[in-house]
Amino acid sequence: MFGIEKLSSTVKIIIVAVLILMIAASGYLVYTNFIAQKTPIGPTVQTQGVNLTNTPVVTKFDEGLFFSPQMLELKKYGEWDYTKQYEATATDINIPSEPTNIEVLNPGTGGKLYVFWQLPKNNNFKKIYIYRFGVIIKDNLLPTDTFYQDDGLQNGVTYYYLVKTVNEANQESENKLQVSGTPTDIIPPLPPQNVQITDKGDKTSLEISWEAPNDPDFDFVRVYRSTQKGKLGIIIKDKTAGDLCSKNGKEYYCFVDKVTSGTTYYYTLTSLDASGNESSRRILTNPARSNPFEPQF
């Protein structure tokens, strides 16, 4: 074919060598013009107007990095695919705005709960209603009131409340979420005040006097007596309000304790509430020692 078989062996070898060189040259041209061109050469390639040579080199990672001119320039390109949302709610101006952040607090003194709320910014109401178990229990609270004290409750029972605003046309706010609380009695009352021990001068009588604490949780007084300082001793008077006494025009409560002549006695008075919570029985053995670093004699 093509007369190649008539050529000598030497000529055939030369032709094959030339063909190999041509194929190699063609492959080199394809690589340099197509394949090698896909890899960027040099630091000056730009994409979408961003000069990659200006990308920041992180030398210190702190807040300043995010506010550098280069970072802010790159940031705006990353925001092209996002948009902002704007919030709005359509309301009926004829319906009063509802109170918010409604909660119930148990003071721990028993028989009561406090209901708190935050007033709405739109002051389109004239009063506030308090519901308990779906029934209105308070209908004349002022539009500036932010809490209500509910008394006469049973300890251990969970109560549910709803607070609503009311406008001039007696339209109520639309909120329906109830909040709950359970009254408990865990806090003791304040102790008796101005306790005094007076020697009656007959060698066998000591008058113990006090003023009742100004505490609505107070129920009665308990009196302890000891012959050793710092010890609580025994209860000599319990569930007592004492006798109403008067001295120099001032009223107080007291009772007379019959004792043994010549013996020194130490008294401790505490208050109790109806649930049996008792004020502190810790004895301050040295009331005059106000400095804890002062030696105790």
CB distance 210 to 193 below 8 Å:
yes
Superfamily of domain 193-272: Immunoglobulins (2.60.40.10)
Instruction: Kindly give the confidence (pLDDT) of every residue in the chain, 297 residues in length, as a single tens digit, with 9 standing for 90 and above.
Output: 455 555 567 666 777 676 777 776 666 665 666 555 555 544 444 445 545 555 555 556 666 666 777 777 766 666 556 678 888 877 777 899 999 999 999 999 999 999 999 999 888 999 999 999 999 999 999 999 999 999 999 999 999 999 999 999 999 999 999 999 999 999 999 999 999 999 999 999 999 999 999 998 899 999 999 999 999 999 999 999 999 998 888 899 999 999 999 999 999 999 999 999 999 999 876 655 555 555 543
188 by Cβ neighbours in 10 Å (0-12 / 13-18 / 19+) ranks as: buried
Structurally, what CATH architecture does the domain formed by 100-181 represent? Sandwich (2.60)
For residue 297, the model assigns a pLDDT of 38
Residue 72, H or E segment: helix 69-78
Looking at the DSSP bridge assignments, the partners of residue 250 are 247
Q: What is the pLDDT of residues 72-124, one digit of tens each?
A: 776 666 655 667 888 887 777 789 999 999 999 999 999 999 999 999 988 89
What is the model's pTM? 0.56
Q: Where are the chain's structural domains?
A: 100-181, 193-272
d(CA 152, CA 75): 63
Answer whether 210's CB lies under 8 Å from 223's CB: no
pLDDT in tens, 155-176: 999 999 999 999 999 999 999 9
- Asked whether the domain spanning 193-272 has the same topology as the one spanning 100-181, the reply is yes
